Amino acid sequence: MNLTLKQLFKFGAVCVSVCALSASAVDYVSDSFEAPEGSDELAIGEYKRVISGVNGEYTNLAWVAGIDDTSRLVPVNAAYADIVGEGPITNGAKLLMLKLETENDTLSRAVTNELSIETATVYIDTLIQFTPSDEAPSINTNAGTDVKIALYVNAESNLVVVSQTYEELTYYTKGMATSEIDLGYPIDPEKWYRLTMRVVYDDPDRLTDIWVDGELVIHTNGYDIANACMGGSSFVNINSGADDISFISFQGTGSLDELVVTDEEPPILSTPSIIKLTLVSVGGTVIFSPEGTADSGVEVTMTAGDWYEIISVTGPINEDLSSFLPAKAITNVLTAGADCSVTATVAKVSSGSITIGGIGYDLGTVATWALANSIAEGGLVPADMDDYLLNVGPGTDATIEIKSIVVDKDTGKTTITVGSSEPLVDFTKLNGTVYVYTTTDLAVPFALTEKSVVELTPDVDKATLEITVVSDEFIKAVVK
């Protein structure tokens, strides 16, 4: 059957072999083929026809068939039961379908209420069982033709669209050519599909988007309206001079049911369950809820792993997150028009403070130490912090001690060498700072004074520092 959009819009399909849409549309068409208007073996030309004229002629026909057309309504076939989800006409009977046999003629469905795509978006929505074409159908795309867009399934069972394409990827400056584009979208002739098309006016072009079972068809020769580039989903109509839809036309063989033309977006295009978001973390672990994948429109919580924070999120986020990133966790509703990935990038926390046992520590260095020692966030206790300051493993219980004191009586400088009883302590990698406390009387607490500002010379197993003290001062050194 082949499907074409035409002037006054003829819309045709080469899956049923051909279907074409011509001059104007509103619910404009809603054909279920069910009783009371439809009946088994009813010729399609008799479906919904209205008697008019003085002699009772059928001059107001819903479906206009050629003289040799044998298309008729028949009970739905066995494959129809495999349709996934609702069709365009919801909650209706599904007993009869249209079996197409146009015998090389064109079968057209008249659209009684005209609609211009210049003032409204038009949707064509139907259930269809495609018949592949052994040879590419002959579709008139010459100057002045009323063909807009043609669809058919080729001998390889791939969906093909006939439309205009830009000769190069520059939208505004290059010419256009009519092309048959193999979309690489495989069609099983034994299955039924929901085919949905959207026709829009985007000055200066008239464009058509195509969905199969709610999946938007994207191709390198499709135009991306939002980003003004190629590689999108919008195919440029061949005859862009006509904005009205008046007929949907078909040629060939195939099966059809629930044909709708409307200016309202079908629910299948906005149903979140058909659009999957793959949730990915970069730079570290992110815990997603839900995990792994989510449906478009569902609230997603992203929580960075222990000692990490989220620094950026890319993908279909529906608001600007920059004002509160970095953050430990983000909850957001993600929306998308097609399957895609949402990537949360994380990094180890690098700033801020953390309080353990009433004492504040630098969060960035605590995180580095905790990660190196496999300590969970929230798992630190005060007893761990001496080992953190000396940058050794938890439970080492290392201490520092003054190894020697040398006083220069001429300069008043005192050189102190600090070491540790634990050889694992590397004074070049301390997380804390060495402070010197003094007192002139052991009955008086040690105090940190301006004389405690020291020049520390670290080595792997010791550190030397130089301070100025008065005689008889007592000295102690600590790491904080």
| pLDDT value at residue 451 | 46
| pLDDT value at residue 273 | 47
Residues of the chain with pLDDT under 50: 1-2, 4-26, 169-174, 271-273, 450-454
| Burial status of residue 260 (CB atoms within 10 A of its CB: 0-12, 13-18, 19 or more) | buried
Same fold: 2-269 with 400-479:
no
Go through 298-326 and write b for each residue having 16 or more CB atoms within 10 A of its CB, e for each that does not. eebebbbbbbbbbbebeebbeeeeeeeeb
Query: What are the residues whose beta carbons fall under 8 Å from the beta carbon of 409, sequence distance 6 or more?
Result: none
CA-to-CA distance for 150 and 178, rounded, in angstroms?
11
| pLDDT value at residue 144 | 57
| pLDDT value at residue 178 | 74
For residue 98, the Cα-to-chain-centroid distance in whole angstroms is: 37
Q: What is the pTM of this model?
A: 0.54
| pLDDT value at residue 170 | 47
| pLDDT value at residue 234 | 85
| pLDDT value at residue 48 | 92
Q: Which CATH architecture has domain 400-479?
A: Sandwich (2.60)
Task: Please report which residue ranges of 71-204 form alpha helices under DSSP H.
Answer: none
**Residue whose C-alpha is closest to residue 30's, from 260, 196, 257, 249:** 260
CA-to-CA distance for 217 and 64, rounded, in angstroms?
31
CA-to-CA distance for 14 and 73, rounded, in angstroms?
19
| pLDDT value at residue 10 | 41
| pLDDT value at residue 145 | 62
Percentages helix, strand, coil for the chain (3-state, rounded to 5) are: 10, 45, 50
| pLDDT value at residue 22 | 34
Record: fold of 2-269: Jelly Rolls (2.60.120)
- Look at the block and give the residue holding tokens 């999108």: 232
Rounded-to-10 torsion of CA 97, 140, 246, 263? 80
| pLDDT value at residue 235 | 86
Q: Where are the domains of the chain?
A: 2-269, 272-348, 400-479
